Chains A and B, each alone.
Chain A
């Protein structure tokens, strides 16, 4: 048991290390070199890794622990964004009230949607959540346009009332944390041809990710989390054991909805704009993919899955034919054309194809996701080490 605790502390420190040094770690290639497009250490992309990581951590509390597969969590992401932008418009450009309101309102939404959807389980639950999310998406374009500003999306305007810090002058207001502007770079330097850039925005997101990860870890290790895993395994036994399963699943649903709202609010904090496309079913599906790809029910898996998908989405989609031609330029003419044609469908606009194939490969060969793969590698390496150590000390006993 104390072993678990020590491992948890190590895991938390590892996550903290990667989160804090991501701007360096994710920039391994010289910025004018041929591999520069594989760098991911720029603020905009890193923020997306972290924010979608938070989204997936929350989703995993519902899906990974209780097994209830929601296909509508993007609705809460959208609600979080809209609430945050409204806070910017009405109260202040400070991100704290925006985040708080985003989390609260999405939690309320989750309470209502969860209360109704959790009357059913399995595929019927999934369909109900999907229906609710699609309803929210469509309403955002129609009935709720006064709140959502329809297709244009909700934006910050100079004419906004903003009670606490009304706009002065004509400069477009920017989001900040007590004066620290989110988009501000507080440190930038070049080292060995690599450009490193540190913004407040990324570090706000990274710290919130760490807190979110820690809370999720505590939930996993609590009696409450044990009950949620029991719900997944055998709900019938649980009710004949004196446990009322409904409030447990509803709490998990609301918590994961609040995580989604937090992620949505952070998206708005980094770029104060909210549109209904954030609520579309494809966005709900994406968080399912992230969680399964990384490893549902594991602590780290969802974060890895989110990073993996967002990385390939951004990197692959930016590789166009010019880039490919540059890569294959060293080959004889006909051959390089041939390779460009072969690779073309998998990159640029075709990045979904690559991602789909990778997803299939992971699900087929690593049913437990990337975490399953990592575990197998660790087992393999440590097993090999043990075997070689034993071999060195004494002749291996015949087993």
Chain B
């Protein structure tokens, strides 16, 4: 069953056709990787899913409803969470608060005026947050200020913030960029673990082929704003079009 359907999406930046009739279908429960050379339009495409950019033409359907014209917070409320390339977290707040905020947003919606409720008495929310932190191995860090954590932990925290919302779709833009080999492997394990325990559909943009081939169920190859191939990993390896697109940039 398809959870995300992208049809004929076009996006121009001035004279640059960043996305050119992009079609993409993501099946429920899959890890769908998007690969492609630098400047291919991968991030632009992801930005069109979360409301940061609006496509010029085309349609983006998620779970039966169109995402076009919606604001970022409205899209999140439909069940889409996003991990950014550089972790976007609440640096001044504690790890626990960081995870409780998305849980509040999930329960209370886009806005709730409850100035006399007490955070200390929100045991449901706190339990949910603590459970996710435990699952990601960060329970002992819950009272740390987020800005004081290592880069790897920040990414993990951002992941926890997305997971506590139990999204239907998780979008990840280069989750291992700039990471050491061991951090990269940890992230792969983490994503696999999330896949096993939660079965959330994921769309991952990634340059690291090791990551892509360890995780992906389906791969779309984007080049110059167009999806040139969408297939299973074993068929992507050695595909002539993919080789041509990368022109020896990477050993595929």
Structural contact, A248 and B97, CB atoms closer than 8 A: no
CA distance A229 to B104 in the complex (A): 14
Decide if B119 touches A242 in the complex (CB within 8 Å).
no
Q: Are A244 and B115 in contact (CB under 8 A)?
A: no
Which of chain A's residues 223-272 have a Cβ closer than 8 Å to chain B? Answer: 223-227, 229-230, 232-234, 236-245, 247-248, 251, 255
Q: Can you name the residue of chain B whose Cβ is closest to the Cβ of A234?
A: B90
B113 adjacent to chain A (CB < 8 Å): yes
Residue of B at shortest CB range from A236?
A: B88
**Contact among B111, B113, B119, B120 for A244, CB-based, below 8 A:** B111
> Residue on A with the closest CB to B72?
A239
| Given known contacts A227-B101, A238-B101, A222 and B111 CB-to-CB distance under 8 angstroms | no
Q: A222 and B110: CB pair below 8 A? A: no
Q: Is the CB of B120 within 8 A of A224?
A: no
CB distance from A159 to the nearest CB of B (A): 43
Cβ–Cβ < 8 Å partners of B181 in chain A: none
Contacts of A251 in B (CB 8 A): 113
Partner of A230, one of B77, B84, B101: B101
Q: How far is the CA of A247 from the CA of B120 in the complex (A)?
A: 24
Partner of A237, one of B88, B114, B122, B165: B88
Q: Which of B69-107 contact A (CB under 8 A)?
A: 71-73, 76-77, 81-82, 84, 88-93, 97, 100-102, 104-106
> In B107-162, which residues have CB < 8 Å from any A CB?
108-120, 122, 125, 161
- How many chain A residues have a CB neighbour from B under 8 Å? 33
Interface size class of B (residues with CB under 8 A): 35 or more
A223 near B120 (CB under 8 angstroms)?
no
Q: In the complex, what residues of A have CB within 8 A of residue B112's CB?
A: 223-224
Q: Which secondary structure dominates where chain A touches chain B?
A: helix
Chain B residues whose C-beta falls within 8 Å of the C-beta of A247 in the assembled complex: 110-111
How many whole Å from A256's CB to the nearest CB in chain B?
A: 12
Set of chain A residues within 8 Å of B165, measured between Cβ atoms: 241-242
What CA separation (Å) do A110 and B82 show in the bound complex? 35
Residues of the B chain whose Cβ atoms lie less than 8 Å from the Cβ of A233: 90-93
Q: Does A221 make an interface contact (CB < 8 A)?
A: yes
Q: How far is the CB of B190 from chain A (nearest CB, A)?
A: 20
- Closest-by-CB residue of A relative to B77 is A242
CB distance from B2 to the nearest CB of A (A): 23
Contacts of B122 in A (CB 8 A): 223
In the complex with contacts A222-B116, A244-B71, A229-B111 CB distance below 8 A: no
- The smallest beta-carbon distance between A327 and chain B, in angstroms, is 46
- Pair B116/A241 contact, Cβ less than 8 Å: no
Q: Is the CB of B93 within 8 A of A222?
A: no
* B50 located at the interface, meaning its Cβ lies under 8 Å from any Cβ of chain A in the complex: yes
B105 adjacent to A5 (CB under 8 Å): no
Tell me the nearest residue of chain B to A228, going by C-beta: B115
Known pairs A5-B120, A222-B114. 12 more at Cβ < 8 A? A223-B114, A226-B100, A226-B119, A227-B104, A229-B93, A233-B91, A239-B73, A240-B73, A241-B101, A241-B165, A242-B110, A244-B71
A-B contacts, 9 listed (Cβ < 8 Å): A2-B120, A223-B117, A234-B91, A239-B71, A240-B50, A241-B73, A241-B161, A242-B106, A243-B101
